[in-house]
Structure 1
Amino acid sequence: MSTIAFIGLGIMGSPMAVHLAKAGHQVVGYNLTPNRTGPLTEAGGTAADSIAKAVAGADVVAVMVPDSPDVEDVLAGENGVFENAQPGTLIIDFSSIRPDVTTELAARASARGFRLIDAPVSGGEAGAINAALSIMVGASAEDFAAAKPILDVVGKTIAHVGPNGAGQTVKAANQLIVAGNIQLLAEAIIFLEAYGVDTAAAVEVLGGGLAGSAVLNQKAQKMLDRNFEPGFRIDLHHKDMGILTAAAREAGVVVPLGAVVAQLMASARANGDGGLDHSGLLRGVERLSGSTSPTSK
């Protein structure tokens, strides 16, 4: 068993840290707002009031924070991981950030005697709670092997997809596919409702055919119920679509549908929906169709 410092106990990080504690690891959690540490301490972990205290004596540092600047601050900022962790520490960054930032941070980590892998996840809150996340890992073969026992506790589908930065690149592709599926599902539901069909029955039969998907299974009912309690916020998916479109431009790759969905995601934020689950893209379809959405939860 390892001593794990887990930094970032939000919607995703908290259940992941809990799984690690229940698996027998000694988990010390830190979150910028301390009221997030309750589930971890109830599971047998402990809470720290600083990054420095969390990483002291840790074999592994896990990071799950929202964006590239947050990861840079946690790792390389004043009183961050690089200043306080012991040499040889394995750093697993579960965050979804820019591939170039990951590559640069990995080089800086190596220069200071640390090992850093990028291991962004897919599956949302449900995947984190059920330890069923898909994890795409950018790392050396040796570092991937070292991290695998930790990843196995929180994930179900785990793949080593290349060197540092490759995990973030695959995650960007994942977010492109998910955003497109959510947008099209939202359009289909508004279309079905306009014709007064039995939408529950329609969703069931669509799920049994080629239109079926994990997105349909997890998000259709939320759309039908207009329950947009966040499992993965539009704010974060907007950030991810920015990563995707910027990386595609740098590679000279055209993503026309992705660019449109990125704009629709930006529109949702501009209309005050950033804190909703990304299934809340349905509200944008309603606005464009001139209809009024019931109050979202």
Structure 2
Amino acid sequence: MGRVPSVAKLGFIGLGAMGTPMAANLLAAGHVLAVYTRRPASAEALVEAGAVACASASEVASRSDVIFTVVTDTEAVETVVLRAGGIVEGARPGTTVIDHSTIAPAGARRLAVALERHGVHMLDAPVSGGVQGARNATLSIMVGGDRAVFDACRPLLAHLGKTIEYIGPSGAGQVAKACNQICIVVNQLGVAEAILLAERAGVSFEPVQRALMGGFAASRILEVQAPKMMSRRFDGQIESRLHHKDILIALDMARQLGLQLPASALAADVLTKLQQAGGAHLDSAAVFSVLEHSR
């Protein structure tokens, strides 16, 4: 793949909480942008800013040299890439697909192989940093795929993130994301337990949090998720269903590799209980409520 021009023809598919600000950053950088979403209303602001709304993923592909996707799971990526009306129907040889979704590494590898048959490159490039990171273009981006394709696309990724790391061949970016999600959901349970312990002991967790943030226990989870747990307000933007999906991917990988991940398994169990209690769309910090009401 050659060098990406300073004004590139880009496509973006998936305009949810993460995709919309990411697409906006690419548009703000001066690139030509075609977009597709199942909910046309979510594209209105981008269209007003200069993006072109398309009727299908294949139409986006026909207008683009590099196509970004951010959808929910492996099946959703396969749908927008390979099925009727998908990217593969409109993409020309030499096109690159950069998938920022969190999916199974094996799924990313399958998609890369399928696209390569059509002369289309693919990078699996999941992100971490949440909606705020997407808005501020400070995401951490973990990339798997051909190194030369990554090098060519890196200037585009720089419009989206601050930490851009090439991990390895196809699927390696998704392995890194699985590691990321393990650290998040396990740490989240630890923070929830710490809050419960302090409160049951009659101690406000607010000064405890400040003390912990000054020491070795400091973490982004303690900083960001603890206030949600303390206030019992779980209407944030990190939906628990997504962390539930992601940790199940990590556990499935572990089973295939013959590994035991007991802390991850416990976190998955608590997240499963949260889904069963109707908390799929609550912030992932709502695992606190499962622990708080457990007997």
- TM-score bracket, shorter-length normalisation: over 0.9
Matched residue count:
289
% identity of equivalent residues: 39
C-alpha displacement at 1:41, in angstroms? 2.4
Q: Describe how 1:286-297 pairs up with structure 2 within 5 A.
A: 286-288=292-294
Verify: 1:248 aligned to 2:254, yes or no.
Answer: yes
What's the TM-score, normalizing by structure 2? 0.95
Contact 1:22/1:44, CA 8 A, preserved across alignment: no
Distance 1:192 1:159 in 2: 38
The equivalent of 1:139 in structure 2 is 145
Task: Tell me how far 1:135 sits from its aligned partner.
Answer: 0.6
SS of the aligned residue for 2:60 comes to helix
CA contact (8 A) 1:230 1:275 kept: no
Q: Is the 8 A contact 1:23 1:153 kept in 2?
A: yes
CA distance in 2, matches of 1:46, 1:20: 13
**Residue of 51, 55, 60 corresponding to 2:66:** 60
Tell me, in whole angstroms, the C-alpha distance in 1 between the residues paired with 2:152 and 2:228: 38
- After TM superposition, give the deviation of residue 196 of structure 1 in Å: 2.9
Distance 1:39 1:278 in 2: 28
**How far apart are residue 39 of structure 1 and its match?**
3.2
Deviation at 1:15, TM superposition (A): 0.5
Which aligned pairs between 1:102-181 and structure 2 lie closer than 5 A? 102-181=108-187
CA contact (8 A) 1:120 1:135 kept: yes
Cross-structure match for 1:230:
236
**Equivalence for 1:266:** 272
The answer on whether the counterparts of 2:128 and 2:140 sit within 8 Å (CA) in structure 1 is: yes
Compute the TM-score of the two structures, normalised by the length of structure 1: 0.94
Structure 1 residue runs of 5 or longer lacking an equivalent are: 290-297
Task: Pick the aligned partner of 1:22 from 25, 28, 41.
Answer: 28
Deviations 1:138-158 (A, max 9, x none): 011101111101111111111
Paired residue secondary structure (2:247): helix
Deviations 1:74-113 (A, max 9, x none): 0001110001112211100000001001101101111111
Counterparts of 1:230 and 1:32, CA distance in 2: 23
Match of 1:194 in 2: 200
SS in 1 for 2:159: helix
Name whichever of 187-196 and 55-64 sits farther off. Answer: 187-196
User: Aligned to 1:72, which of 75, 78, 82?
Assistant: 78
Task: Tell me the equivalent position of 1:257.
Answer: 263
Cα offset for 1:45? 2.1
Q: Secondary structure at the match of 1:211?
A: coil
- C-alpha distance in 2 between matches for 1:46 and 1:208: 48
Separation in 1, partners of 2:202, 2:61: 57
Give yes or no for contact 1:126–1:231 (8 Å, CA) kept in 2.
no
Instruction: Let me know the Cα RMSD of the aligned residues.
Output: 1.2
Question: Per the alignment, in what secondary structure is the counterpart of residue 75 of structure 2?
Answer: helix
Contact 2:43/2:53, CA 8 A, preserved across alignment: yes
- The ranges of structure 1 where at least 4 consecutive aligned residues each deviate by more than 3 angstroms after the TM superposition are none
Which residue of 1 is the match for residue 222 of structure 2? 216
What does the per-residue CA deviation read over 1:207-248, in whole Å, with 9 as the maximum and x for residues that have no partner?
Answer: 111110011112111222222123221111111111100101
Amino acid at match of 2:35: G
Instruction: Tell me which amino acid in the other structure corresponds to 1:158.
Output: I
